């Protein structure tokens, strides 16, 4: 019996025997939403024009959080529950991207930290020390890269298996635990 090499036949046979890598489904991104209800009048009076750009219909008093309420509640250890990442905990498959969307009225960060703790604005920390990942504030390029402005989004990819902790370095009670399987 004589074997003859036929390139076209080899390509067909080789492609049938290899795993169909192109058939692997691309993971659907998981969305995390940053929420807050800052009161534009009080925030902008203290922090400058257009700092709070709340476009939500419910931002009018009594639903909005005034600047003084935000600071006093955080200092008392009872931060405003309306300032939050949703969901607070999620489990994803390795390779699944996270899309973090800021639907609040002011900026936030979505910073990975080794453990939860304080951010870079001491009056909002409820006596917790700033975690090393947040300590430098926006002067630290690593923190600045995690900033999400109102109406924008941040994509997080390449998370390794295991638990990952993310928090806002401005409002440190805004936290998410991501378990990658």
What percent of the chain is modeled with pLDDT above 70?
A: 82
Domain that holds residue 41: 26-180
In a domain, 18, yes or no: no
Distance CA 175, CA 178 (A): 10
In a domain, 16, yes or no: no
Buried b (16+ CB within 10 A) or exposed e, 40-76: bebbbeeeeeebbbbeeeebeeeebbbbeebbebbee
Beta bridge partners of residue 101, listed in sequence order:
33, 153
Instruction: Find which of 12-16, 33-37, 64-68, 166-170 is predicted with most confidence, using mean pLDDT.
Output: 166-170
CATH number, domain of 115, equals: 2.60.40.420
In a domain, 17, yes or no: no
Distance CA 71, CA 173 (A): 12
Query: Which residue carries 């940053």 as its tokens?
Result: 34
Of 8 and 144, more confident: 144
Q: 7 by DSSP, 3-state: which?
A: helix
Q: What are the pLDDT digits (tens) for 105-160? A: 999 999 999 999 999 999 999 889 999 999 999 999 999 999 999 989 999 999 99
In a domain, 9, yes or no: no
How many structural domains compose the chain?
Answer: 1
Return the DSSP state at 117: -
In a domain, 83, yes or no: yes
Predicted local distance difference test score (pLDDT) of residue 167: 98
The per-residue DSSP string of 38-102 comes to B-HHHHHHHH-TTS-----GGGSTTSSBPHHHHHHHHHTT---TTSEEESSEEEE-TTPPEEEEE
Beta bridge partners of residue 58, listed in sequence order:
none
């Amino acid at each position: 019996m004589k074997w003859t090499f036929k390139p076209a036949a080899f390509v067909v046979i080789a492609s049938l025997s290899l795993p169909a890598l192109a058939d692997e489904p691309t993971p659907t991104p998981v969305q995390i939403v940053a929420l807050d209800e800052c009161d534009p009048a009080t925030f902008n009076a203290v922090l400058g024009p257009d700092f709070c750009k709340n476009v939500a219909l419910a931002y009018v008093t009594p639903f909005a959080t005034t600047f003084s309420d935000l600071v006093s509640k955080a200092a008392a250890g009872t931060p405003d529950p309306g300032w939050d990442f949703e969901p607070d905990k999620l489990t994803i498959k390795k390779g699944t991207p996270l899309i973090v969307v800021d639907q609040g009225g002011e900026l936030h960060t979505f910073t990975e930290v080794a453990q939860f703790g304080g951010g870079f604005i001491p009056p909002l920390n409820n006596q917790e020390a700033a975690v090393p990942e947040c300590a430098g504030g926006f002067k630290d390029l690593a923190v600045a890269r995690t900033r999400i402005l109102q109406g924008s989004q941040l994509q997080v990819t390449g998370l390794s298996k295991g638990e990952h902790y993310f928090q806002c370095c401005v409002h440190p009670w805004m936290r998410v635990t991501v378990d990658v399987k």
